[in-house]
Amino acid sequence: MSSRSNKPVRQDYIAKIRYTNNLPPPPLNPKYIEYNTTNPISSKIEGEQLLSSLFRKENFQNLIERIDENLGLELNLINNHGFLDQDKLEVIGQLTNDDNSPINLHPKDRVLLRDAGIGKLKKSEPGVSFLRRTEYISERSVPKSSTNIEENKVNEKLKNNEEDQLDSEHQLKAVENTFTEAEKSMNDLTTIKHPKNKKLKAISTWPLLPDTSMMDNKLINMKFLGSASIKREQDVLKRKEGSKYDSLIQKQKQETSIFYPIKSEDGGEWISMFELSSPEQISKLYSNLNSIEPENPINLLDMEDETQQIYDFKYTKNYDMIYQTYNNPYGELAINFVPEEEESEIESSKSKFKKRKVAHYLPINGKIELRKHRASTNSEINKFIKERTFDEIKFKLREPTTNELNLMDKARSEFDPMEYDSE
């Protein structure tokens, strides 16, 4: 037996307790009692009733007898006639100076009014998780650092300039200042500091801008988990082919794959993977998909284009799929770093341009987790997946039509209305 079995294990039994009430219902209807709110009574009678009520609920006699009488202070407010029944504050002492100005409390006496247990609270004491504002129950002395002081100064400055912030001129100036500060950090890398690891140093900066030309597409993060990992299959293929193994073709083969989802009515989700087998088709399709040339719309509407090349995608395997959408569309981004290059020439437009060093980002809308598909014990599920799995897909890649390009520009115009005009 292992040593863990000797240790005591705490087990809590949670049960829902139900009580049985066999008492009969009350024989009478509820009765409303009138409360005397209209007839005013004197303050003396009300004070007597209040005092009698207090003495019925709490016994103050023990507290009164323990007061040290040698101090010469009369702390028993009950014996001070007129304080409770006639609202005379003079009977308990002088509260104002001769010129009717309030008497300030001495600093030494103010210390005596503080709770004796506040200064002895430990910083490691666990907080109360179910209270939002724990400062109502405890006061912990937290040392004020220089950063907190600077933050307080900034907050006070912002608070004082609330009216200026509503002004359009100040808003425009604040926006322009952000570009000025960003330009300084791009030119002087020493001003950039890591928020956590101060030993790290920046070696290059990239302007981060949205890739508006791709905003009409939706990106999904796909992960191969566990035994579905592609790296294991690539290692086996690399050992099998030896020197004939082409890593570039295999990389392009993965990036040009087609995934076709299979969904059942009861909520089951699977996905089929299709790949190209010809290296020539892989290279050509990869270059066409990653081309930076602008779209050249055609007037083809619903007719089939017979001139385009057909790509034969063969079925590879099925995966078990779990799809999850992101609530925040900008919580995860795909960033493409474009380096700065010399002037190059595009064959289609025959115009020279110089690429700008920039990092383009695209939002990722969700993620798909793929696991190795295993045959189910239910023969109906296996039959359902087999019937909806295709052997191959005939794929054609063509330029968008005019109507399709208008729909694409409409989605892009939400992010860049100056570049893409949507009617």
Give the tens place of pLDDT for each residue, 171-210: 888 888 888 888 888 778 888 888 888 888 888 888 888 8
Q: pLDDT band at residue 36, thresholds of 50, 70 and 90?
A: low
Stretch 359-370: mean pLDDT: 90
CB 140 within 8 Å of CB 127: no
| pLDDT value of residue 318 | 92
- Residue 386's φ and ψ, nearest 5 degrees, are -65, -35
For 188, the token pair is: 């002087």
Helix (H, G, I), strand (E, B) or coil at 273: strand
Q: pLDDT band at residue 15, thresholds of 50, 70 and 90?
A: confident
pLDDT(140) > 80: no
230-241 and 247-255 helices, crossing angle to 10°: 150
Q: pLDDT band at residue 343, thresholds of 50, 70 and 90?
A: very low
pLDDT(313) > 90: yes
| pLDDT value of residue 273 | 93
pLDDT(20) > 80: yes
pLDDT(161) > 80: no
Q: Give pTM, 2 decimals.
A: 0.52
351-376: buried (b, 16+ CB within 10 Å) or exposed (e) per residue?
eeeeeeeeebebbbebebbbeebeee
Kindly report the CA angle at 381 between 377 and 385, in degrees rounded to 5?
125
| Residue pLDDT, tens place only, 93-103 | 666 677 777 77
pLDDT(42) > 90: no
Stretch 59-84: mean pLDDT: 59
Kindly report the CA angle at 24 between 18 and 26, in degrees rounded to 5?
115
| pLDDT value of residue 330 | 84
Instruction: Fill in the DSSP letter of residue 117.
Output: T
Cα–Cα nearest to 396, from 314, 305, 315, 316: 305
> Which burial class, exposed, middle or buried, applies to 243 when counting CB atoms under 10 A from its CB (0-12, 13-18, 19+)?
exposed
Stretch 341-370: mean pLDDT: 69
| pLDDT value of residue 344 | 46
Identify the residue whose tokens are 């598909």: 373
Among the ranges given (27-36, 125-134, 166-175, 288-297), the one the predictor scored with the smallest mean pLDDT: 125-134
| pLDDT value of residue 350 | 45
| pLDDT value of residue 148 | 61
Stretch 57-79: mean pLDDT: 56
For 226, the token pair is: 């566990």
Cα–Cα nearest to 318, from 254, 272, 276, 269: 272
C-alpha distances in Å from residue 134, one per residue of 127, 139, 149, 202, 336: 7, 9, 22, 40, 46
- Residue 318's φ and ψ, nearest 5 degrees, are -105, 150
C-alpha distances in Å from residue 96, one per residue of 100, 101, 103, 105, 112: 5, 6, 5, 11, 21
pLDDT(121) > 60: no
pLDDT(78) > 70: no
Say how far apart CA 356 and CA 374 lie, in whole Å: 49
> In percent, how much of the chain has pLDDT > 90?
11
| pLDDT value of residue 50 | 65
Q: How high does pLDDT run on average in the chain?
A: 76
Q: pLDDT band at residue 400, thresholds of 50, 70 and 90?
A: confident
| Residue pLDDT, tens place only, 219-249 | 899 999 888 888 888 888 888 888 888 889 8
CB 371 within 8 Å of CB 225: yes
